[in-house]
Amino acid sequence: MGKYHLLRRFRGVASRRRNFQVPSEGAVSPLILANRTVTKPNYFQSSTKSTNRFSPSRMNQSNNNEPSPITVKKIACIGAGYVGGPTCSVIAYKCPQIQVTIVDVNPDRINQWNSDSLPIFEPGLEEIILKCRGKNLFFDTDIDKAIKEADLIFVSVNTPTKQSGIGSGYAADLSYVELCTRRIATVAATSKIVVEKSTVPCRTAESMRKILESNSKPNLNITFDILSNPEFLAEGTAIKDLLNPDRVLIGSLGTPSGKRAQAALVDVYANWVPREKCVTTGLWSSELTKLVIIMNESQKRRFTTKVVKELFNTIRGKKITVLGFAFKKDTGDTRCSASITLIKQFREEGAQISIYDPKVKENQYWLDLVNPQVPGDDQAGT
C-alpha cells in the first residue's frame, strides 16, 4: 500500500473521531473503527447504583469511615504537686462539663487538698478550689480507678535530679515517670490519651510509648496516644499564668491518631484560651522547647553569678548601675524585662542599685520591683 493510500486512510479515521458525538442520556453509541464495532459506555448516564469511586455516595461513605473527633469527658492527673494541682484545678474551673480527678500516692497531701489548708499557696487558687471541689473537681488516692475512668491522663510526677550514679548532679531521675507509665499500661482497659506534663529530657515520650505498648493488655486492643504539654508556671503567678497564658504548647506524633489526640487537648484548652495561642508541634519539638526556655531563663542567674565572681565573689555594699529597665530600647514597656530579674538578684546579694531608663517613669520602677510576683531566681518554667 502506497503512502498516499495510508495517508487517506489515516485522515478518514481522524475525521470519524472528530465527528464522534457524545450520545444522549440512556443511549449507547457504536464507534466503527477499522471495520470493528466497539460498544462505548455512556459515562454520563445517571444510575442509582453508581460504581464511580468519586461519586457523592462513595465520598460520603469514605467520610463516614473516618474516626470521629475525641471528646474528653473525664481527666485524671497523677501527681498532686505544684504543677498538677493548680493546672487541673483551673481546667476544672474553666471546663465545668469535664470531671477532673487529681490523684496521688501520698494520703496526707490528698487530705490537705480536701481540707481548708491547701498544701501550696498561690494567689487565687483557694477560690478556684472552693468553687469546684466536690462538683467536677476531686482529690483522691485511688489511682487505679482514676486511670480506668479517664479519657485523658496528665502525668505530673516529680522528676528530681539524680543524686548518685551516672548523671548525678544534673540528670533527671525519671523513675517516678516510669512507674506511673507502667501503672497506666497495667490498669487501663480502654484507649487513653497520656499527656506528659512534668519537665523531662527529650525523647522521654518515646520511652513512655514503648513502656505502654510493651505492658498493655494485647487482648483488649487498646491504644495509647502520647502528648507533650509542658508547663510554664512561675511561683506566685501560677494561677494568673494558667488563666491568661502567653501560649499553650502541645506536641504529638504526626500520625492520624496522634493528631486526633492533639486536637482533643486543644479543644479542652479552647474553653478559655484563644486557639491561636494553642501552639501545636511535634512531640520532640515540644520537649525541646521547654528545655530551651529553661536554659534561656538560667542565663539571667548565670549573668548575676559572673558579675559576683568578677567582683571578688561579693557585691554587698557595692554600687551597680543598670542602664535600661524596659524589655527593649525605645519603649517604656517593662513587661518580661530581664532587667527586673537581674536587679532583684543583685539586691539579694546586698548590692546598691541605680537605674536609668529615659522611657520608663519612676513610679514604674517601684511597681515592678516591689511587686512580690516578680520572679527572682529563674523561677519561670520550673
Look up residue 49 and give its amino acid: K
pLDDT range class, residue 23, cuts 50, 70, 90:
very low
| 10 annotated to bind ligand | no
Taking alpha carbons only, the member of 208, 186, 210, 188 closest to residue 197 is 208
The CATH number corresponding to 74-294 among 3.30.160.100, 3.40.1670.10, 3.40.50.720, 3.40.50.300 equals: 3.40.50.720
pLDDT above 70: residue 159 = yes
| 109 annotated to bind ligand | yes
Q: Which residue has the higher pLDDT, 330 or 81?
A: 81
CA distances to 18, 118, 182, 216, 296 from 213, rounded to whole Å, are: 63, 37, 10, 6, 35
Query: What own/partner pairs with CB < 8 Å and gap ≥ 24 does 313-319 have?
Result: 314/349, 314/350, 315/346, 315/349, 315/350, 315/351, 316/349, 316/350, 316/351, 317/350, 317/351, 317/352, 318/351, 318/352, 319/351, 319/352, 319/353, 319/354
| 261 annotated to bind ligand | no
Q: State which of 71-75, 215-219, 325-329, 330-334 shows the largest mean pLDDT.
A: 71-75
pLDDT above 90: residue 130 = yes
pLDDT range class, residue 170, cuts 50, 70, 90:
low
| 199 annotated to bind ligand | yes
Q: Which residue has the higher pLDDT, 130 or 222?
A: 130
The chain-wide mean pLDDT, for the chain, equals 79
Q: What mean pLDDT do residues 339-343 have? A: 88
| 234 annotated to bind ligand | yes
What per-residue confidence (pLDDT) applies to 1? 53
| 104 annotated to bind ligand | yes
The total number of residues written for the chain in this structure: 382
Diameter of the chain measured on Cα atoms: 114
CA distances to 199, 207, 311 from 250, rounded to whole Å, are: 14, 18, 43
Q: Which residue has the higher pLDDT, 240 or 292?
A: 240
Q: What mean pLDDT do residues 155-168 have? A: 79
What per-residue confidence (pLDDT) applies to 185? 93
What per-residue confidence (pLDDT) applies to 249? 92
| 196 annotated to bind ligand | no
| In the chain, domain spans | 1-45, 74-294, 311-370
